[in-house]
Amino acid sequence: MAKLKIKGNDLKTAGVPSGPLAGLAVAIAKKHYRTGDYNRFLQELALVNKKPEDFTDNLVWGTYAQKLVSDIAIEEENQEIPLEENPAPYKVWGGSNIESGALNQMDIAVHLPVTHSGALMADAHQGYGLPIGGVLGVKNAVIPYGVGMDIGCRMCLSVYPIAESFFKSDSSRLKVILKENSRFGKDIFDDPKGDHEILSRKEFKEISVVRKLKDKAYKQLGSSGSGNHFVEFGVTEILDPNNEMGLAVGNYFSLLTHSGSRGLGANIAQYYTKVAMSKTRLPKMAKNLAWLSLDSEAGMEYWLAMNLAGDYASACHHDIHRRMSHVLGEQPLAVVENHHNFAWKEKGADGSDLIVHRKGATPAGKGVLGIIPGSMTEPGFIVRGKGDPASLNSASHGAGRKMSRTKAKASFTKKELRQLLGKKGVTLIGGGMDEAPGAYKDIHKVMGFQKDLVDVLGTFQPKIVRMDKG
């Protein structure tokens, strides 16, 4: 069989991409076509290049077609997805109180092709991807960095039938109780936890990345993270007699905790953020907002893992409160718990099915209770959501930082902190200068900015605060 003489321009005209496929086309021509078949070869080559999926089982063209289909899939996967020209609508609460970095991040987020609407809370500050205090409603997708690293981080308040005077008569004992019944960072409890229902969840068997984290989850159950996480005793003052907790107006001894999903949530976030970035390639400025479709296997895996991490965070809080209640010899009259750094399936104002991400923002649907903390010296607020559609039924999750940790360490001294704690009547166990109250925004201003989002039912004033390294 006489060999064909192939011209490069003819291959290009037939639609052959440069690279290995050109060499493969030449090899097929020399093996299966005579000199007089040159035009037929080019015609068939053009057909294969036009619809390669129709030729993957062809005896002559199968190898070439399979390679072409594979290359097209890789090219499509690696293709950068452009941002939308027109942004989705979003509203800002406390705009004068919010740094430009957070506003810029929100401006990018509402240009994602999957975004339906958004909101920015009054405690907002710059983060990674979605700003802290950012709320983003998207269509049929979940953004791992829109949820955040500490998945399901939450507040939990237990209000006890104990008088406020307990602090004066038993303050030394309360400090011992805090130290003996709370753990932070790498310091964990040694008692068995194998019978806790959260450790029996099927996700620990069915999702490979989660399966590898079960031992870590077991060890860290009932402990709190570092940074701004805390376990503290304080005084709850109920202001609204018509509260859903059934509490009379007055002051109550209380326990407030703030922590998240520990190493379990952090590792889930890191793993699926990398998966999302590999599958959804965005412009550099938006790369941390890569999403996973909920129609994809990876998207559903993350959704299940995220919900597990959120439930695990709740289990950690409940274990802390169980320990404290046991030692105090009292059961709480009421418990308020709410969380942030999560995504919920909800309805938009127009009836759309949305995945609502609240990264450092808390649910405030109509009648939903929550607690919004201030700082180690400033009060937190027990609130009832009003269900404002423009906020996607959200409110702030705290006061919000006004200084980075580095700047806070350089701005305050230990002496200044001790003087402030003394003035406010607060005892601090552990903690660092990066958590100095001056590093945070004025919680009273933040609450003032969101009067249309929540009603205040009561306050919580910290008295004895324990943080990491205490």
φ/ψ of residue 417, rounded to 5: -65, -45
pLDDT at 165 over 70: yes
**Dist CA 81 CA 247 (whole Å):** 53
- pLDDT for the residue 29: 85
Is 205 within the bounds of a domain? yes
Which residues span the domain enclosing 458?
151-259+306-466
- pLDDT for the residue 258: 97
pLDDT digits 0-9 by tens, 240-265: 999 999 999 999 999 999 999 999 99
Last-in-domain residue among 24, 49, 78: 78
Same domain, 25 and 162: no
Is 111 within the bounds of a domain? no
Q: If pLDDT is split at 50, 70 and 90, which confidence band does 470 have? A: low
Find the Cα–Cα–Cα–Cα dihedral 379, 380, 386, 392, rounded to 10°: 120
CA 169 to centroid of chain Cα atoms? 41
Same domain, 361 and 253: yes
pLDDT digits 0-9 by tens, 389-437: 999 999 999 999 999 899 999 999 999 999 999 999 999 999 999 999 9
- pLDDT for the residue 244: 95
Q: If pLDDT is split at 50, 70 and 90, which confidence band does 343 have? A: very high
- pLDDT for the residue 194: 56
CATH number for the domain including 406? 3.90.1860.10
pLDDT at 76 over 90: no
User: Ramachandran region of residue 350, left (φ > 0), alpha (ψ -120 to 50) or beta?
Assistant: alpha
Is 37 within the bounds of a domain? yes
Last-in-domain residue among 47, 78, 109: 78
Average pLDDT, the chain: 93
Contacts of 303 (CB under 8 A, 6+ apart): 142, 294, 343
Identify the CA nearest to 348 among candidates 365, 371, 370. 365
φ/ψ of residue 238, rounded to 5: -85, 125
**Dist CA 207 CA 308 (whole Å):** 11
pLDDT digits 0-9 by tens, 33-58: 877 788 898 999 999 999 999 999 99
Q: Is 134 helix (H, G, I), strand (E, B) or coil?
A: strand
Q: If pLDDT is split at 50, 70 and 90, which confidence band does 456 have? A: very high
- pLDDT for the residue 3: 64
Q: Are 221 and 193 in contact (CB under 8 A)?
A: yes
Identify the CA nearest to 402 among candidates 133, 130, 17. 133
Q: What is the DSSP letter of 308?
A: H
Of 470 and 27, more confident: 27
How many domains are there within the chain?
2
Is 387 within the bounds of a domain? yes
Q: Is 244 helix (H, G, I), strand (E, B) or coil?
A: coil
Mean pLDDT across the stretch 302-311? Answer: 98
Q: If pLDDT is split at 50, 70 and 90, which confidence band does 105 have? A: very high
- pLDDT for the residue 243: 97
pLDDT at 298 over 60: yes
Element (H, E) at 336: strand 334-339
Is 128 within the bounds of a domain? no
Is 130 within the bounds of a domain? no
The 3-class SS string of 414-462 reads HHHHHHHHHHHCCEEECCCHHHCHHHECCHHHHHHHCCCCEEEEEEEEE
Triad 253, 259, 263: Cα angle to 5°: 150
Same domain, 167 and 34: no
pLDDT at 186 over 90: no
**Dist CA 31 CA 60 (whole Å):** 9
Other beta carbons less than 10 A from residue 90's beta carbon: 21
Identify the CA nearest to 88 among candidates 139, 129, 38, 125. 139
Element (H, E) at 232: strand 230-238
- pLDDT for the residue 38: 86
Is 369 within the bounds of a domain? yes
Last-in-domain residue among 78, 102, 133: 78
Other beta carbons less than 10 A from residue 379's beta carbon: 21
Same domain, 249 and 336: yes
Same domain, 390 and 242: yes
Q: Is 373 helix (H, G, I), strand (E, B) or coil?
A: coil
Mean pLDDT across the stretch 62-70? Answer: 89
**Dist CA 362 CA 340 (whole Å):** 5
- pLDDT for the residue 50: 92
Find the Cα–Cα–Cα–Cα dihedral 339, 88, 440, 178, rounded to 10°: 10
Same domain, 157 and 73: no
Q: Are 181 and 329 in contact (CB under 8 A)?
A: no
Mean pLDDT across the stretch 443-449? Answer: 97
Is 169 within the bounds of a domain? yes
**Dist CA 365 CA 40 (whole Å):** 68
Q: Model pTM?
A: 0.85
Mean pLDDT across the stretch 228-248? Answer: 97
